[in-house]
Amino acid sequence: MNFGAIKAIYRNEMARFFRTLAQSFISPVISTSLYFVVFGAAIGSRIDEVEGVSYGAFIVPGLIMLSVITQAISNASFGIYFPKFIGTIYELLSAPVNFFEIVIGYVGAAATKALFIGVVILGTASLFVDLTIMHPFAMLAFLVLTCISFALLGFIIGIWAGNFEQLQLVPLLIITPLIFLGGSFYSISMLPPVWQTITLFNPVVYLISGFRWAFFGMADVPIGLSLLAIAVFTGLCLAVVWWIFKTGWRIRT
């Protein structure tokens, strides 16, 4: 294992993040505050509690998942796409670095950035509502696994994208709608039976449900299914990344 190569890739990606630290820090704080104003104040005044939890606190796990998933994807996709765009990816491929080390460097940096954003949002949310985390270790585990798995997905999107428009296509048209329809701001038990069944085909439901369970001890789906879903998703992403580097798809052409 070439730890020097991993460290160099990781530090380079993190340096880009810290150059815009104010933007990276202030933006999620403002966004979270706006969500609390709109959902917590406007809608929360009409919905007192959801399954025994105040609505303002109930939406916190969904807010964190929304930001963490989008940040993990965007950071990882841009991180690997930019070297492709300017041509420095070939220098990396010709260096004595295997694909596993490249993935650890880029995905690790993207996951770290997303984790930082998640912690910032959690701290911001605590200013608006009283939060008690019933299972802190489970919460941290779900947060880290989500950062890693969606950073892997972002890495795949960055390899696939042929231009900057395609880089934003999947997150805007697929991922964001899945997050909003995945129970971020409501419990799927509030939906009609038919829509509850349809919603269960949304993989994001299992992530948000498991993450919310870590906070409040309540979940829309069994916690075991949530763990299985994120494990399967991570495994699929790893398999796709392995295939990409084995075949050179969208890298060597």
Average pLDDT estimate for 194-216 = 92
pLDDT at 216 over 90: yes
Look at 91-95, 141-145, 166-170, 233-237 and tell me which has the smallest mean pLDDT: 91-95
Tens digit of pLDDT for each residue in 184-194? 888 898 889 99
Quick check: is 252 in a domain? no
Tens-place pLDDT, residues 72-115: 999 999 999 999 888 888 888 888 888 889 999 999 999 999 99
Residue 42 pLDDT > 90, yes or no?
Answer: no
Within-domain flag for 189: yes
Domain of 159, in residue numbers: 3-42+53-247
* Residue 101, domain member (yes or no): yes
**pLDDT > 80? residue 43:** no
Instruction: Map residue 50 onto helix, strand or coil.
Output: strand
Nearest to 129, CA basis, from 56, 28, 55, 229:
56
| Six-digit token string for 212 | 């919310």
Q: How many domains does the structure of the chain reveal?
A: 1
Q: Report how far residue 41's alpha carbon sits from residue 55's, in angstroms, rounded to the nearest whole number.
A: 9
Which helix (H) or strand (E) segment holds residue 79: the answer is helix 60-86
Provide, rounded to the nearest whole percent, the portion of the chain with pLDDT above 90. 46
| pLDDT, mean of residues 116-127 | 88
Q: 10 lies in a domain? A: yes
112 inside domain: yes
Q: What band does 40 get if pLDDT is binned at 50, 70 and 90?
A: low
Instruction: At 83, give phi and psi (nearest 5°).
Output: -60, -35
In-domain check, residue 47 = no
Distance (Å) of CA 77 to CA 8, 72, 74, 200, 201: 18, 8, 5, 27, 25
